[in-house]
Chain A
Amino acid sequence: MNKLQIITKGIIKENPVFVLLLGMCPVLGTSSSAINGLGMGVATMMVLIMSNAVVSIVAGAIPNQVRIPAYIVVIAGFTTVVQLMMQAYTPGLYATLGIFIPLIAVNCVLLARAEAYASKNSVLNSVFDGLGIGLGFTLALTALGAVRELLGSMSVFGYKFASGDGMLVFILAPGAFIALGYLIVIFNKLTKIKA
């Protein structure tokens, strides 16, 4: 499998949101607008790439019984690094996403990739896997955020299409579930035609 395939696999065949259905908490919680979805996706991707890299380096040295705690410590560490960075250099985004950033540590996508991929593959492949899965996560979150923002507040990325408030339900939690359900339907329909 070449590097490009590893990346596209993460976006389409093993898309963490639309296919694996992993990490639903941040997906539903942070996707109330396109920019929030993008920000959360990129932050998760950063942590994922770094943790994948480190896990694939140290995996050989970690005894079997403590591998999960060790991976979690690595993931939580990088999550905090990203949190501090965002707090320092992008305070605006941090103000809106702040409470969700620490939750990256408990996002099962990260542990799943560490356990299922990074611990068994080379550093370079793990980095590309992190990039692919991260991109898939980011695209899904941005798409969901854009749909919810469009229906909920008639704007995308803050650019208003029409006046008025839109259907508030899509900004709130129930709308997240409804929109995600229909996006999964559409995604599966499209990818099935390809295959």
Chain B
Amino acid sequence: MVKKLLVSQAPHLHGKENTRRIMLDVLIALIPAVLVSVYFMGLSALSVFAVSIATCVAVEYLIQRYLINGPSTISDMSALLTAVLLALNLPPTSPWWMVMIGAVVAIGIAKMTFGGLGNNLFNPALVGRVVLLISFPVLMTDWTVPPSIFRVGADAISGATPLGIIKEGLAGGLTMEQLQGAHGFSYQYLLWGKIGGSMGEANAFALLLGFAYLLYRKVIRLHIPLTIFVTVALFTGILWLINPQQNADPLFHLLTGGILLGAIFMATDYVTSPMSTKGMIIFGVGIGVITVLIRVYGAYPEGISFAILIMNAMVPLLNMYCKPKRFGEVIKNG
């Protein structure tokens, strides 16, 4: 083989400036969601963000400095992004020590153990969330909405997520119509309202705003989020058409839970998603199918975080089998 002009497959190595720029763009895209969560959930939401950011950055610095002995990687902002995403995946009532454990798991186990940014197999923020979900199921499913200083006179609301309410309700023999009537799940409410759930799930519109910004800045490509949305819509649509009384409709599924947050901000993570278009589509379809399977048939009301992690594990395989054809490659045997 002639070793001349060897150009490797995309993605080409980015300079430091670029990584930092991309991370900053994603952080900017998250600003609406962060503001909304602080508006709805008040100071406790703010403290979750603060603890998460402080711990993530500190853990990354310490490991980089004393275990890897490399130059500090704090300035590429990836630890900051992981911290914000992790916080958005937690309930606003999370105690500080739980947020800290989540941050240590996310950065320490899921990211730095594999060798830092670019080498991690799984999305760090999601690993943090899932480990916490399995470890502290009671705290992680306590969706009490704390009173917010921004909404004077509002009391703490003990709430369940719409998905949780539906799972319980349907198992208890109620129909969709009764449940939607009793809890006021209109689409306007789901799009604009204060949805019970983790901090990033509070408002669908804020997430869509971030989505638009990322697309405008060309930070992410449409393929992964779109295939996830389409797959979820198709799958739940079929179930809904078969039995509308026992299955929520597709729009309800798309607007509730973590699908928006997951599809837009987690599944599109550069490091843990496939490189080729074909790979991205398979990746998105897989996430969609697994999410719906867990939501409808599984024990948990929401499954997007598990779905993304499972498909994360497939990424090396997808990258291997979905290589784009090299320019000028000779097709063997016709």
Chain B residues in the interface with A (C-beta under 8 A): 101, 109, 113, 131, 134-137
Contacts and interface: CB of A to CB of B under 8 A. Distances in A.
Interface string A146-177: 00000000000000000001111110101000
A25 interface: no
A150 to B, nearest CB: 14
- In order of increasing CB-CB distance, the 10 nearest A-B pairs are A167-B135, A169-B135, A169-B134, A168-B135, A169-B131, A168-B134, A172-B134, A178-B109, A174-B134, A167-B101
Given A169-B131, A174-B131, 13 more contacts: A165-B136, A166-B135, A167-B101, A167-B131, A167-B135, A167-B136, A168-B134, A168-B135, A168-B137, A170-B135, A174-B134, A178-B109, A181-B113
Q: Which of B101, B109, B134 has the most CB of A within 10 A?
A: B134
A167 B109 CA distance: 15
Contacts of A169: 131, 134-135
Nearest to A168: B135
19 contacts: A165-B136, A166-B135, A167-B101, A167-B131, A167-B135, A167-B136, A168-B134, A168-B135, A168-B136, A168-B137, A169-B131, A169-B134, A169-B135, A170-B135, A172-B134, A174-B131, A174-B134, A178-B109, A181-B113
A166 B97 CA distance: 12
Interface string A49-79: 0000000000000000000000000000000
Interface of A: 165-170, 172, 174, 178, 181
A178 B135 CA distance: 13
A48 to B, nearest CB: 33
A166 B139 CA distance: 12
Nearest to A173: B134
Q: Which of A166, A168, A170, A172 has the most CB of B within 10 A?
A: A168
Contacts of B101: 167
Nearest to A164: B136
Contacts of B131: 167, 169, 174
Contacts of A172: 134
B114 to A, nearest CB: 11
A165 B136 CA distance: 8
A145 to B, nearest CB: 18
